[in-house]
Chain A
Amino acid sequence: MAPSSLDVVLKGSSGRNTRGLLRVIILCTIAAAAVSSRLFSVIRFESIIHEFDPWFNFRATKYLVENGFYSFWDWFDDRTWHPLGRVTGGTLYPGLMVTSGVIYHILRLLTIPVDIRNICVLLAPGFSGLTALAMYLLTSEMSDSPSAGLLAAAFMGITPGYISRSVAGSYDNEAIAIFLLVFTFYLWIKAVKNGSIMWGALTALFYGYMVSAWGGYVFITNLIPLHVFVLLCMGRYSTRVYISYTTWYALGTLGSMQIPFVGFLPIRNSDHMSALGVFGLIQLVAFAEFIRGYLPGKQFQKLLTSMVLLTFGLGFGGLVLLSVSGVIAPWSGRFYSLWDTGYAKIHIPIIASVSEHQPTAWPAFFFDLNFLIWLFPAGVFMCFQKLKDEHVFVVIYSVLASYFAGVMVRLMLTLTPIVCVAAALALSCILDNFLVASTPSTETKAKATTEDKSLRSARNPVVGIYSWFSKSVVVASVTLYLLMFVAHCTWVTSNAYSSPSVVLASKLPDGSQFIIDDYREAYYWLRQNTPDNAKIMSWWDYGYQIGGMADRPTLVDNNTWNNTHIATVGKAMSSREEVSYPILRQHDVDYVLVVFGGLLGYSGDDLNKFLWMVRIAEGIWPDEVKERDFFTARGEYRVDEEATPAMKNSLMYKMSYHNYQSLFPAGQAMDRVRGTRLPKESPQLNTLEEAFTSENWIVRLYKVKDLDNLGRDHSNAVAFDKGLKRKRATKRKGPRVLRTE
């Protein structure tokens, strides 16, 4: 009796259990796939922290593990931003470090000896598994379909849009923040559905965790009030909404204020004002709803409505007045530049200079989301079918996040979760209809009552699919798309997102891999050959890496909190030596580090970033540094014989090309990044001397000379030295003459 034995497993309560077990297994498999697809870089290279920001997080985590939580909280770091220092404990989001610290201590408690570095490297893949789980929960709240949640979890697990920020080794705030984002939204939806204080409080709890982990929490701070506001505008006020919102706002705001870096921002900053405003509005609406029950007359009702509107208007005006008068800080620059897209370029060049703040071209969307990008609008459309409170949330989130992702590349990260939700809704709807084994009988044509409000395309009742042929066609093509999606994701992850960028890989002509390890070579040289407190000046991109790998104090780093200090470095780099040398002396600089890709053709080098240094310096010293001077009369940015005098005399140019010509036969020196032939003579450096150049010339280190012993200026001293040598040489060559007098 094979069928009946199967029936035992598939039907009734044991059937439910079987399905539950299957579900758990599938989710575990998805989590495993999510983790393993992020390990390319560890397998290919080694267990290493990637890029720039993660190096700071890693350094801070090490500090936390070594010195304990309280000294981490009060950490003043005198090894960055020399000579200012940085109140690191008060100016970072501690969530990430504390999370890995807690994991470290738990593992130690279980007597599992594991290096803190490995925890940091593997934290992001680990949390991506949790994100897939949270995604399952969130999507299951949106749909009755049993498959939607699983599909969404699978999408979230492997979509490149999320992998780009969570491969092993990219130990950045986003590593845990996306999990928190998705989970907070899940709790919020749960709270709105049930109207329970418990879910609201849980939302606030995870919101607080999110605040401690990532600056992107502002997205939640504005999205939830917007959701509530739209619900109110749709006339969908209910006690459920009231309870969940007030609980979330009160507890969440208190929670977020516990983070020193956030402090009083929630009540003093425009970014947070929408949450406060909606909090006020919902009180008014609740009050009006309450009174309405006791007021008989229609006039009273009208009076009440106008009272509510008036109070809201007054409150709104008050907020505007407070922001204009400066009590409430205006929008923070980064956030504001999302709305006024030209703002950053004019006023905050340091924000505009970061490549991940650039707008997104369409291929990037397809690259990161593949076929989800066209399932996405379909899924949003399906949300309009029922349009319950949670569907309103999906719609708002979709529109807003796609705008943000279009303006800034890095915000693709916030778009990805909702794309997965919507795409899963759409695809599960197709699969549920086309994967039903039974064929509907043609006779039963039960006319359901058509709802006037619903979408036009969904007014008739669902009949089902008749023929096996249509079922197999659709299922086969969908399977094909899904398989291609997996292949695409693997290809993208392996090719685009798994490079540590500290170690570069290239292919030799014979196909073998060639590892370029110049950065670490130079940082370890610094570590071993310079005194412990030798100050290193470099452009801010490399600050965190120098701090993390070389363990030496830096002038500026990737925490770009002091624009003037960065501009000072920019000025030193872009000025003549006579101007730069006093700046270097005043800042106790011992070594200067530049990145030069001319020999290898590495395009991310300092000369390509040079214009940003000039621009940022010009913002502070418009009379001394001028961008125009670095372009030729025809408006070209050149480094060859026809480069402008300002360019040729700048410290950056000299440091990049110092002695470079000696690598080539006379007059043959080539810059492979900019593809130009260089001048015959290599530039003359007077105030610096070359200390170290890495194997492929990517990193070059210069030591700042001390003041001359005889009180000459450096150019004279160098000229004298040169002249002396020449004289000696002629003397030696000359015939010896006996004194015959």
Chain B
Amino acid sequence: MKLWAGLFLLLSFVSGVLSASSTQDKFATYQSLSRSGPVDLDSASYEDLTSTPRDYYAAVILTATDPRFGCLLCRDFESEWDLIARSWTKGPKPDELKVVFGTLDFDNGKAVFQKLMLQTAPVILVFPPTIGPFAKVEGNPLRFDFTGPISADQVYSWIGRHLPEGPKPELVRPINYMRIVSVTTILMAVVTATTVLSPYLLPIVQNRNLWAAVSLIAILLFTSGQMFNHIRKVPYVAGDGKGGISYFAGGFQNQFGMETQIVAAIYAVLSFATIALALKVPRMEDVKGQQLAVLIWATVLFATYSFLLSVFKTKNGGYPFYLPPF
């Protein structure tokens, strides 16, 4: 009985050592391959990396960076993923905690994408170790789906949560010296330029017409819903389903980029007509000319307002008011 147990122990020890040594090699090769950033994988090396037994964590991003696929998220996140891998390899961490970061591009790993039945990219998979001190019973990978633009910090903290307790390297963003230098240079250039050019700039800065124009443009932009476009990222125009373009979005809470520009233009015309009637016309000395100007501006005001009301009526179906022409 004792003999059997001893033999069994010995056998298991030997097998453990053997397997450990083979996975040890695997980890070492991938680590050397990676240098400091993530390892570029293809289908074969992906299978090898994620095959059991493994004594390391494998974090792989499945992505499609080629411009053909139009995956903006993938390309945006590429540098962030690089940052994560770099921070991990450079930072201080416990020796026995081994993590390999890898990147599998769609071009190199179509088979893997098919096998996993992935419809979207990017996706991050984290494979826990199956042997060693941090081995998990179930070796199924953890999956991180992207729902929108995500920063490296969020992904890093997600990965960190699934690693065992203990100290982990901080995510370090490299200091952008280039940017500091360029900002300082630009700042100094601006200061110099203003001091040198002040005799020429001062009249422009103090020009009342300029400030009036700037404030009016700002007000027109804001009141025509430009911030809504900016925040919601609405499309500029959309098709109406019959091959044409629909300029105005249906519904009270929707709008298109072009629609807001049209509305801003309408407001501008109306305001300008008002200004003309209020300020310019009473200052005209010519009797006939004044009569004509009043007629023109009043008509413009009336017609444009009528158009604005008709546009508003299309947006808000139950609106009961309108003015004749439109």
Contacts and interface: CB of A to CB of B under 8 A. Distances in A.
A430 interface: yes
A378 B280 CA distance: 12
B292 to A, nearest CB: 9
B148 to A, nearest CB: 9
Contact of A426 (B215, B252, B274): B274
Nearest to A445: B285
B162 to A, nearest CB: 8
B219 A402 contact: yes
Given A453-B208, A481-B305, A461 B283 contact: yes
B294 A402 contact: no
B44 interface: no
A40 B222 CA distance: 32
A430 B212 contact: no
B295 interface: yes
Contact of B294 (A360, A367, A403, A473): A473
A360 B301 CA distance: 26
Contacts of B161: 622-623
Interface string A446-474: 00000001111110111111110110011
B158 interface: yes
Nearest to A460: B283
B75 interface: no
B298 A377 contact: no
A398 interface: yes
B275 A378 contact: yes
B197 interface: no
Nearest to A456: B209
Contact of B321 (A363, A373, A442, A488): A488
Interface string B261-273: 0010011101110
A341 interface: yes
B222 A403 contact: yes
A385 B279 contact: yes
Interface in B273-306: 274-275, 277-285, 287, 290-291, 294-295, 298, 301-302, 305
Of residues A361, A426, A469, A491, which shows the largest number of chain B Cβ atoms within 10 Å of its Cβ? A361
A366 to B, nearest CB: 6
B216 interface: yes
A484 B321 contact: yes
B220 interface: yes
A378 B282 contact: no
A398 B219 contact: yes
A622 B294 contact: no
B147 interface: yes
Of residues A430, A445, A462, A622, which shows the largest number of chain B Cβ atoms within 10 Å of its Cβ? A430
Contact of B219 (A363, A380, A457, A466): A380
A231 interface: no
A498 to B, nearest CB: 15
Contacts of A463: 282-285
Helix, strand, loop or mixed for chain A's interface?
helix
A359 B282 contact: no
Contacts of A633: 119
Contacts of A387: 208
B147 A377 contact: no
A378 B208 contact: no
Interface in A360-418: 360-367, 371, 373-378, 380-382, 384-385, 387, 395, 398-399, 402-403, 405-407
B50 interface: no
Interface string B241-273: 000000000001111000110010011101110
Nearest to A465: B282
B228 interface: yes
B211 interface: yes
Nearest to B119: A633
A426 B208 contact: no
B147 to A, nearest CB: 7
A491 B270 CA distance: 23
Nearest to B262: A362
A627 interface: yes
Contacts of B115: none
A429 interface: yes
Nearest to A485: B321
Interface string A589-625: 0000000000000000000000000000000001100
B312 interface: yes
A332 interface: no
B225 interface: yes
A14 interface: no
A684 interface: no
B227 A360 contact: yes
B232 A363 contact: no
B291 A470 contact: yes
A373 B227 CA distance: 16
Of residues B222, B224, B318, which shows the largest number of chain A Cβ atoms within 10 Å of its Cβ? B222
A406 B285 CA distance: 41
A487 interface: yes
A456 B212 CA distance: 11
A403 B227 contact: yes
23 contacts: A341-B227, A361-B252, A362-B223, A362-B260, A365-B225, A374-B274, A376-B219, A377-B216, A380-B212, A380-B216, A398-B219, A399-B218, A399-B222, A407-B227, A430-B278, A433-B282, A460-B283, A463-B284, A467-B290, A470-B294, A470-B298, A477-B298, A627-B147
Interface of A: 341-342, 359-367, 371, 373-378, 380-382, 384-385, 387, 395, 398-399, 402-403, 405-407, 426, 429-430, 433-434, 442, 445, 453-458, 460-467, 469-470, 473-474, 477, 481, 484, 487-488, 491, 495, 622-623, 627-628, 633
Nearest 8 pairs between A and B by C-beta?
A406-B227, A362-B225, A470-B294, A374-B270, A402-B222, A378-B274, A429-B278, A377-B271
Given A362-B223, A374-B308, A376-B271, 17 more contacts: A360-B227, A366-B312, A374-B274, A377-B220, A387-B208, A399-B215, A406-B222, A407-B231, A433-B278, A433-B282, A434-B277, A455-B212, A463-B282, A466-B287, A466-B290, A474-B277, A487-B321
